[in-house]
């Protein structure tokens, strides 16, 4: 069962000058990831609140949402068999599915990071490769916060318009990735071996998922533009939203 909607009771908007962005995380998740996201959002002009299954926050008070990285998603949510050696967090899965339900009803801008990109796909009925190295045999086995993996970005995508580049290097902290696309989504970035690295929904004001971790690429202004564009969309700057989805 999903977390009752009482956890997301409607209240007044979080807008008071700076947009309020929620960042989902595991109860036992890395505080480094939270502070990296918090810093990126603060630099972009937003306030941030950490949301976990044990510390929920009313989604109706948010102006935007970051679905963060972390443990694998329960494979039974997309029709696969759960693997016993994979660490999952069912409470967080339920939290994020409900948060994405609420965000969809309100047309909140949403950025999915690593696991968060995968969760956007699962929320829309898609599936995942439970281990990319079983499918993409040539994919490098990288696990690093440094930009060591080369990706290509579709030039007619919102992601391209935000980053302003067709190829770049990103970091890699994952072993799963998008398989079957969810409803209304398109692939907008892949790595050289073919693994999906970016997805987005053209019919949504701002719904983008990236398989890498831009919050750790603090000196890369192009990557930080993801947070700036999210915050601008959360602030209701329609010109920025149009530029990201046209």
Q: What is the pLDDT of residues 7-47, one digit of tens each?
A: 333 333 444 589 999 999 998 877 899 999 999 999 999 99
Helix, strand, or coil (residue 130): coil
* CATH T-level assignment (fold) for domain 5-245: Rossmann fold (3.40.50)
Cβ neighbour number for residue 43 with a 10 Å cutoff: 13
**Sign of the torsion formed by the C-alpha atoms of 98, 104, 107 and 109:** positive
Tell me the catalytic residues: 114, 213, 215
Residue 77 DSSP label: G
Query: Which tokens in the block code for residue 156?
Result: 């007619």
| Contact of 89 with 68, CB cutoff 8 Å | no
pTM value is 0.89
| Contact of 71 with 115, CB cutoff 8 Å | yes
Q: How confident is the model at residue 244 (pLDDT cuts 50, 70, 90)?
A: very low
Q: What is the pLDDT of residues 51-85, one digit of tens each?
A: 999 999 999 999 999 999 998 999 999 998 766 56
**Residue of 135, 165, 132, 134 lying closest to 150 (CA atoms):** 165
Q: In sequence order, what are the residues at sequence separation of 6 or more whose Cβ sits closer than 8 angstroms to the Cβ of residue 114?
A: 68, 69, 70, 173, 174, 210, 211, 212, 213
Give the pLDDT of residue 111: 98
Task: Work out the burial of residue 124: count CB atoms within 10 Å of its CB; fewer than 13 is exposed, 13-18 middle, 19 or more buried.
Answer: middle
Q: How confident is the model at residue 118 (pLDDT cuts 50, 70, 90)?
A: very high
Q: How confident is the model at residue 143 (pLDDT cuts 50, 70, 90)?
A: confident
Q: What is the pLDDT of residues 124-140, one digit of tens each?
A: 999 999 887 787 767 77
């Amino acid at each position: 069962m999903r977390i009752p909607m009482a956890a997301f009771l409607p209240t007044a908007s979080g807008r008071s000058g700076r947009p309020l962005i929620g960042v989902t995380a595991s109860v036992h998740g890395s505080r480094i990831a939270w502070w990296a996201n918090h810093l990126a959002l603060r630099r972009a002009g937003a306030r941030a609140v950490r949301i976990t299954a044990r510390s929920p926050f009313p989604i109706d008070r948010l102006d935007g949402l970051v679905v963060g990285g972390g443990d694998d998603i329960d494979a039974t949510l997309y029709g696969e068999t759960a693997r016993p050696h994979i660490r999952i967090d069912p409470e967080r899965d339920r939290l994020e599915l409900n948060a994405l339900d609420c965000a969809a009803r309100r047309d909140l801008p949403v950025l999915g990071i690593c696991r968060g990109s995968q969760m956007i796909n699962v929320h829309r009925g898609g599936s995942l490769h439970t281990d990319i190295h079983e499918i993409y045999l040539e994919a490098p086995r990288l696990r690093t916060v440094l930009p060591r993996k080369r990706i290509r970005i579709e030039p007619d995508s919102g992601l391209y318009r935000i980053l302003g580049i067709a190829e770049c290097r990103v970091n890699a902290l994952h072993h799963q990735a998008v398989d079957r696309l969810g409803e209304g989504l398109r692939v907008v970035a892949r790595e050289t071996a073919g693994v999906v690295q970016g997805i987005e929904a053209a019919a949504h004001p701002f719904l983008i998922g990236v398989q890498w971790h831009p919050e750790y690429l603090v000196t890369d202004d192009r990557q930080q533009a993801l947070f700036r564009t999210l915050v601008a969309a959360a602030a209701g700057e329609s010109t920025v939203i149009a530029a990201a989805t046209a």
